[in-house]
């Protein structure tokens, strides 16, 4: 793994911004973790997820209705991932560690191992955002070229067309392929992982076995092989596409910057916080429905700067980030709508393929 360092000697930008954020919470005597609105939202999303599962197994539904409900089931799981699992595994869902640990295990409910997800997301992605050769999230295999430093193949000429169908396979590949590869190698794309404790090994295997039982074996016993496999695929298309697009709109668009860790030791001249602003993008920040569903991940800049603060506070922090960026003449990447960000992503993918 290339050694990447940042110019953090002074951290003038982050210190100024952090002082403003800290003052906001102190003056209002607010907790940085979740609030009743987040907990109510979590109950709603978990209830929709559980209700969809039970209805699919027990109700005698018309095939078309069952197919639509499978889609709802997948999208609801994505909502749980964005709002519950994500905040919990960053330690910002609750002030109580045991609640964060418990709610973080909702990742395993979706077949995704919590420990591996933290290694990939919290440690690697959040530290080395959009750095080619280190950030695994922009290394999606040979079919997708996500930055100019990556080798261009002839097939990439059409990636702006086929990337969306590929994104639909995100959760399937993660659950049944990449996590097993990472587990047995104890590496992610050549990056060594922290030592896995015995408890985490047990959770990994128990999670995978329970997922296969509740999402495949039990449904097949009750409903039959063909309808279950079709429904399982529909569910994962909805889940994978929702997960992938939120990430792509926040990082792989025309406005964001990329770095290439092509040397054994690489020093980035900007402080870490400025790098985060440059390599992430906000989108649809005034759209309350998108903000509600994505768990504030449309405030991606704010999340990368303050990952241990719950997303319910990001709309306010967004104004502080804007002020700090303006003060230090730093460009803030922002798209006014999700559709505008999607078009930018597709244009960027097309440009990389030409």
pLDDT (tens digit per residue) in 57-98:
999 999 999 999 999 999 999 999 999 999 999 999 999 999
CB contact at 8 A, 349 and 152: no
- Model pTM score: 0.93
State what percent of residues in the chain have pLDDT above 70: 99
User: Tokens for 257?
Assistant: 């910057």
pLDDT at 9: 84
How confident is the model over 192-222, as pLDDT tens digits?
899 999 999 999 999 999 999 999 999 999 9
pLDDT, position 191: 83
pLDDT band at 269 (very low <50, low <70, confident <90, very high): confident
Residue range 143-185, pLDDT digits in tens: 999 999 999 999 999 999 999 999 999 999 999 999 999 999 9
Six token digits for residue 79: 């909502």
Query: How far is 310 from 42, CA to CA, in rounded Å?
Result: 13
Count of Cβ atoms closer than 10 Å to residue 223 Cβ: 15
Average pLDDT over the chain, rounded to an integer:
95
Q: Sign (positive/negative) of CA torsion 83, 84, 86, 88?
A: positive
Q: Classify residue 342 by burial, with Cβ atoms within 10 Å: 0-12, 13-18, 19+.
A: middle
Residues 108, 96: Cα–Cα separation, whole Å: 20
pLDDT of residue 3: 79
Position 264 scores a pLDDT of 66
pLDDT tens-place string over residues 313-341: 999 999 999 999 999 999 999 999 999 99
Q: What confidence score (pLDDT) does residue 10 get?
A: 82
Nearest to 294 by CA among 52, 24, 42, 81: 81
């Amino acid at each position: 793994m290339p050694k990447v360092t940042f110019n953090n000697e002074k951290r003038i930008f982050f210190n100024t911004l952090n002082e403003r954020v800290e003052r906001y919470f102190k003056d209002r005597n607010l907790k940085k973790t979740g609030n009743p609105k987040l907990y109510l939202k979590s109950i709603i999303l978990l209830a929709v997820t559980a209700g969809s599962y039970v209805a699919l197994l027990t109700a005698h539904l018309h095939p078309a209705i069952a197919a639509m409900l499978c889609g709802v089931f997948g999208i609801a799981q994505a909502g749980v991932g964005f709002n519950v699992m994500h905040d919990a595994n960053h330690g910002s869902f609750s002030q109580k560690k045991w609640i964060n640990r418990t709610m973080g295990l909702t990742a395993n409910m979706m077949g995704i191992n919590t420990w591996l997800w933290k290694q990939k997301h919290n440690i690697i992605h959040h530290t080395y955002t959009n750095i080619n050769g280190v950030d695994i999230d922009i290394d999606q295999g040979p079919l997708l070229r996500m930055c100019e430093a990556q080798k261009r193949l002839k097939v990439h000429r059409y990636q702006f067309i086929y990337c969306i169908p590929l994104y639909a396979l995100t959760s399937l590949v993660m659950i049944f392929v990449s996590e097993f590869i990472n587990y047995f190698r104890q590496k992610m794309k050549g990056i060594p992982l922290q030592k896995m404790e015995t408890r985490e090994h047990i959770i990994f295997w128990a999670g995978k076995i329970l997922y296969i039982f509740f999402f495949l074996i039990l449904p097949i016993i009750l409903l039959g092989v063909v309808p279950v496999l079709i429904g399982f695929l529909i569910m994962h298309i909805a889940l994978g596409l929702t997960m992938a697009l939120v990430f792509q709109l926040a990082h792989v668009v025309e406005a964001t910057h990329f770095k290439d860790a092509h040397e054994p030791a690489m020093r980035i001249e900007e402080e870490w916080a400025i790098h985060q602003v440059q390599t992430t993008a906000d989108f649809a920040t005034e759209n309350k429905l998108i903000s509600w569903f994505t768990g504030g991940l449309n405030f991606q800049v704010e999340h990368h700067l303050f990952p241990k603060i719950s997303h319910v506070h990001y709309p306010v922090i967004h104004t502080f980030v804007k002020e700090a960026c303006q003060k230090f003449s730093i460009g803030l990447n922002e798209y006014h709508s999700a559709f505008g960000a999607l078009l930018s992503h597709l244009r960027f993918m097309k440009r990389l393929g030409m």
